[in-house]
Amino acid sequence: MANRSSSSRSSGYHTFSWWRDGALPVVILGAMAYGLWQTRPLRSINYTPAGSITRTQSCLSNLGRIAISFAQYAQDYDGKFPRGTDPEDHYFPQLWGNPAQSGFTRYGGIYYDDARTAPLLHNLLFPYLRDRKVWHCPDDVGWTESRLYQSVEGLSASQLRNIKPSSWARFGTSYYYMTIHGFAGLRAADIAHPGHDVVLFDGDLWHHAEGGGTVNGLFADGHAQNMTSAHFGEALNVKLP
């Protein structure tokens, strides 16, 4: 995903952390030396009858396992975030702008080739996470037009349309990546507030709660949590180096 929008701390109802009280020898994106994935207590989002806390928790559990694969990748690649892409950037690299053409280019178009040629994140991390079902959010029902993009002020509309029956069925993943982290060769230690910076998230507002749908996200410090669209928008705008 090439685009960012608005800043501040996100709040959700359930988080996972892989950097505390630990004995597992994994590097946390270069920021910590030991990690242990753990859950924290339920928090404040109220689910509607149509919603399922169990499915939302299962999705968060997936993100927790993916966080560990991020850490293992970082251990092998000098603490860096994975240089992978997601379906949005892979199929629409022009979102970054083509430096060979005139007009608007994001980051001067320098990541256009990365978006076009980098492996999809779930394939890149396969050596560290061989269970492909972990990339499937149980609430993933795809979308006609992504409500997630429409709900965040300043966020460009998703170019992916009519993704049915699910993102996972179409692309092998329910989760979308802030690809600038990998393209720019960032480390978690480079980010001033990694606990506020979302790096991986659901493709749409699949989780039902009072006041509208919610989205699960994985943050640069390794924790995962459920967010409203407003909190997601804040987490997209954390300033990066």
Q: Which residue has the higher pLDDT, 19 or 168?
A: 168
4 inside domain: no
97 inside domain: no
Q: Which residue has the higher pLDDT, 17 or 132?
A: 132
142 inside domain: yes
> Exposed (0-12), middle (13-18) or buried (19+): which is 214, by Cβ within 10 Å?
buried
Read off the pLDDT band of 50 (50, 70, 90).
Answer: low
212 DSSP β-pair partners = 209
Q: Which domain holds residue 160?
A: 16-80+127-235
Read off the pLDDT band of 39 (50, 70, 90).
Answer: very low
pTM for the predicted model, two decimal places: 0.80
Q: Which residue has the higher pLDDT, 183 or 3?
A: 183
Number of domains in the chain: 1
pLDDT at 96: 85
CA distances from 152 to 106, 185, 229 (A): 19, 26, 7
**Residue 188 clears pLDDT 60, i.e. is over it:** yes
pLDDT at 3: 53
- Would you say 82 and 70 are in contact if contact means Cβ atoms under 8 Å apart? yes
Average pLDDT of the chain, as a whole number = 77
